[in-house]
Structure 1
Amino acid sequence: MSAVPLERITIEPNLPATACVIWLHGLGDSGAGFSPIVPELGLPKNHSVRFIFPHAPEQPVTLNQGYVMRSWYDIKSMDLHNRADMKGVLESEIRVKTLIKEQNDKGIPSSNIILAGFSQGGVVSMFTGLRYPEKLAGIMALSCYLPNADALPEQLSAANSDTNILQLHGDNDDVVPLSAGKMANKLLNEQNYPVMWKTYPMAHSVHPTEIRDIASWLVARLNIA
């Protein structure tokens, strides 16, 4: 496929950007759903991190009776082993790679870029990050799973074999079962990825304590003073 640039919401720092967080939303949402989180992170006023919240393309979603909505890939069923349409996952991977390349062209190296995502967006961020050929600053996987369910992606990147992964999930998630997140975490640990796993008393959402933990992790990964 030819990678058409994604529409997005971009939040620029007060200083010239030297790092970037690319944050993918969940099914049926848009970049506007997560962009308000930036001020809630409470990062230092003079940080130099650009935040990009792209909008997924609109497409029919099988699980929702073919209703057209923003989606990073088609969801075929609730069965974790048959949930993610891999053709769509691979197409979204290309789109995310294009976003990374855009930032590289603006002077931000991949080693200063974090891929983040919630739910479906977390699936794509984790899949893309684990396979990305250049070193990334980190991967943030919120309330999500691996598209291959009980297997890591093929063609794992040696460059990101020791990249820090933040994996957060709700204890009461009724959309992406906690067991799905735990399965991904087990596979990552078995391959010795430096993954931080934490759960929160929430459903398929974001918890205030989680936001504080995300902020601390970002500060450490991007060396924010």
Structure 2
Amino acid sequence: MSAAPLERITIEPSLAANACVIWLHGLGDSGAGFAPIVPELKLPQHHQVRFIFPHAPEQPVTINQGYVMRSWYDIKTMDLHSRADMTGVLASEVKVKALIQEQIDSGIPANRIVLAGFSQGGVISLFTGLRYPEKLAGIMALSCYLPTADALPEQLSSANKNTEILQQHGESDDVVPLSAGQMANKLLLANHYPVTWQTYPMAHSVHPQQIRAIAAWLTTRLNLN
């Protein structure tokens, strides 16, 4: 029996959707945390992009004294090399792939789907996107790192070897150090992934300038002009 589908907030465009952005939140947040960004993106008025903001399951998080909160995986330590519980990462990958499949079944092809995420959500988006067996429209990895630290994930997909990746990070991030994002970026570039790296004068947050850059990137990736 398959796991229950992720609960989510879905924002439909005014016209029938022909593209989709699946946007994953960070630790302790919910889909409601990023849903308000859609009007802030100021996409073309008659765009046909469906936005999905899923809620991570609730589970105990070790670094927060076992407190139960929405989390894509357990965090056992702040050490980057053992921060992400890979059992949880793989379980979330299955859930996100099911979300992608829902969109494909609804008539939106994989190459019109962007995987996006912030912090923990960015970790899952990057990990899932690099391994996804069909070509995606793009991968957006905000203020995050690779769960495999200084190595690319195993079972990389050749289908997404040339998929555009947008990496953004705060220059004074005190939760996910800038160096963690840079480590992922260096690995991606060394393996010839088409990745755009941008930093902003912010901590572990989202900057107005960054929102404009995301909008421009989505407009290009999904041909919204």
TM-score of the superposed pair, with normalisation by structure 2: 0.99
Alignment pair present for 1:215 and 2:198:
no
1:194 corresponds to: 194
Work out whether residues 3 and 98 of structure 1, in 8 Å CA contact, stay in contact via their aligned partners in 2: no
Partner amino acid for 1:58?
E
CA distance in 1, matches of 2:81, 2:3: 27
Query: What is residue 171 of structure 2 aligned with on the other side?
Result: 171
How many Å apart are 1:106 and its aligned residue? Answer: 0.4
Give the counterpart letter for 1:196 in structure 2.
Answer: T
| Equivalent-residue separation in structure 1 for 2:75 and 2:3 (angstroms) | 21
Q: Residue in 2 aligned with 1:124?
A: 124
Which residue is equivalent to 1:155? 155
The whole-number CA distance in structure 2 between the counterparts of 1:46 and 1:131 is 32
Q: 1:72: Cα distance to partner?
A: 0.2
Partner in structure 2 of residue 70 of structure 1: 70
In structure 2, the residue matched to 1:7 is 7
Q: What amino acid is the match of 1:60? A: P
Contact 1:57/1:72 (8 A) holds in 2 = yes
CA RMSD of aligned residues (A): 0.7
Cα displacement string for residues 113-168 of structure 1 (whole angstroms, at most 9, x for unaligned residues): 00000000000000000000000000000000000100000000000000000000
Q: Quick one: which amino acid aligns to residue 91 of structure 2?
A: E
SS in structure 2 of the partner of residue 52 of structure 1: strand
Aligned amino acid, residue 68 of structure 1:
V
Cα distance in 2 between the residues matched to 1:76 and 1:144: 16
Matches within 5 A, 1:137-148: 137-148=137-148
Alignment of 1:109 onto 2:113:
no
Counterparts of 1:107 and 1:2, CA distance in 2? 22
Structure 1 residue 3: deviation in Å?
2.7
Checking the alignment, whether the CA contact within 8 Å between 1:3 and 1:94 is kept in structure 2 is no
In 2, the alpha carbon distance for the partners of 1:122 and 1:204 equals 12
Alignment partner of 2:144: what SS?
A: coil
Structure 1 CA distance, aligned partners of 2:150 and 2:29?
A: 26
Residue type of the alignment partner of 1:146:
L
Pairs aligned (count):
225
In 2: Cα distance, 1:146 partner to 1:222 partner: 25
In structure 2, runs of 5+ residues without a counterpart are none
Letter in 1 for 2:198: K
Q: Deviations over 1:171-198 (max 9, x none)?
A: 0000000000000000000010000001
| Paired position in structure 1 for 2:92 | 92
Once the two structures are superposed, residues 89-115 of structure 1 have per-residue CA deviations (whole angstroms, 9 ceiling, x without a partner) of 000000000000000010000000000
The alignment-based identity, stated in percent, is 78
- CA displacement at 1:2 relative to structure 2: 2.9
Is 1:135 matched up with 2:135?
yes
* Cα distance in structure 2, aligned partners of 1:127 and 1:148: 9
User: In the aligned structure 2, how far is the partner of 1:77 from the partner of 1:111?
Assistant: 36
Partner of 2:98, secondary structure, is helix
Q: Which amino acid aligns with 1:185?
A: N
One-letter amino acid of the counterpart of residue 104, structure 1: I
Give the aligned partner of residue 32 of structure 1. Answer: 32
Alpha-carbon separation, structure 2, partners of 1:84 and 1:3: 21
Q: CA deviation at 1:45?
A: 1.0
